[in-house]
Amino acid sequence: MASKVYFTKEITPESLKKIYDALGVKLTGKIGVKVSTGEKGAKNYLKADLIGPFVKELNGTILECNTVYAGARNFADEHLEVAKEHGFTSFADVDIMDADGEIRIPVKNGKHLKYDLIGKNWDNYDSYINLAHAKGHMMGGFGANLKNQSIGIASRNGKAYIHSAGHTEDPDECWRDQHEQIDFIESMAEAATAVADYVKEYGKQIISITVMNAISTSCDCDVNQDDPVMADLGIVASLDPVANDQAFIDMVWKSTDPGTEKLKERIDSRLGREILPYAESLGLGSCEYELIEI
C-alpha cells in the first residue's frame, strides 16, 4: 500500500510548520526532535534560523546521542558545547540522551542485530519528530530519516553495535570488525525498525521530516564536510520513514543537476539504496508512495 509523502519546494521556517500541519497529526506531551547538531567543523547541518521557530513553537527538545567516532561529540560535555556553538541551545533544550546510560530494546526478525541500544533519555518523551537533513554519507551512502532513526538514536555503544553489524558494542573494536557492507546497511534498517516498534508498543507517535538543502556527498558528522553538490530540492514529510527516504532518493535520481552524479556515485558505491527494500521487508514502511505537493 502506498504511503503519503507531502512535499514542498520551499525551505523556510513557515514551510516546515506547513508540512507538519499537512500530516494531520497533533503531537502531544513532551516532544523530542531528533536532529543532527553537526560535528565541529561541519557546515551543512540544519541551521537554527531554519528549524528554530518550528521547534520552539512545539516546545520541543533537541535529542542527540554521542558519536562512536573520535571527535568533538563523542562525550556529552563536549557534545553540548558543539550544539551551543551551532546555535541549537538558542531555541531549545538539548538532551544528549545517552549521557546517563542506555536502554536495550528488542530487534524482531533481524539477520544481524539481536537488540538495539538507544539513549536512556528517549523514554522521557511522549512524541517524536525525526527531523533529518538529506545528504550523502561516507559509510552509509546517504543519510536521511532511516539513518537518523537508527544510528542517530543509538547510544555510543549502540552505534558501535550497528556499525559492526551486531558483532561488538566496543567503540574502538567496531572499526576493526570485518563484515560485508550490506550487513551494515541492513543493520541500520533493523535498528530503525526496532525504534519504530518500541515507539508503537508504548502508544507513542513519531513522524518523519527531511529537509533537502545544502546536499553534499558527506555527512554532517564529517569535520571535513564538502560543499553542496546540487541544488536544494525542498522538504518531504511522512508518517512512513521508508517512503520519505525513497522520495528523496527518487528526486535525486530524477534531477538533471550535474552534481547529482557525484551523489549517486557515493550512494551506490556504499549500497545505500539497499536499505529501502530491506526496511520494507521488515515492515517498517513502504517504498511505494503518493507524493502530495503542498
Per-chain mean pLDDT for the chain: 95
156 contacts 196 by C-beta, under 8 angstroms:
no
Model-wide pTM > 0.75? yes
User: Residue 72: is its pLDDT beyond 70?
Assistant: no
Sign of the CA dihedral with 44 first, then 50, 53, and 55 last = negative
Q: Which CATH architecture has domain 3-293?
A: 3-Layer(aba) Sandwich (3.40)
pLDDT > 70: percent of the chain:
98
- Name the 3-class secondary structure at 132: strand
pLDDT single digits (tens) 267-281: 999 999 999 999 999
Average pLDDT value for residue range 102-124: 97
CA dihedral for 101, 37, 143, 242, sign (positive or negative) = positive
Task: Quickly state the pLDDT bin for 241 (edges 50, 70, 90).
Answer: very high
H-type helices in the chain, by residue range?
Answer: 13-22, 48-57, 76-85, 145-150, 156-163, 181-201, 241-254, 260-269, 275-281
Residue 200 has pLDDT above 70, yes or no: yes
Percent pLDDT > 90 in the chain is 90
Q: How confident is the model at residue 24 (pLDDT cuts 50, 70, 90)?
A: very high
* Ramachandran category for residue 90: left, alpha or beta (phi over 0 → left; psi -120 to 50 → alpha): alpha
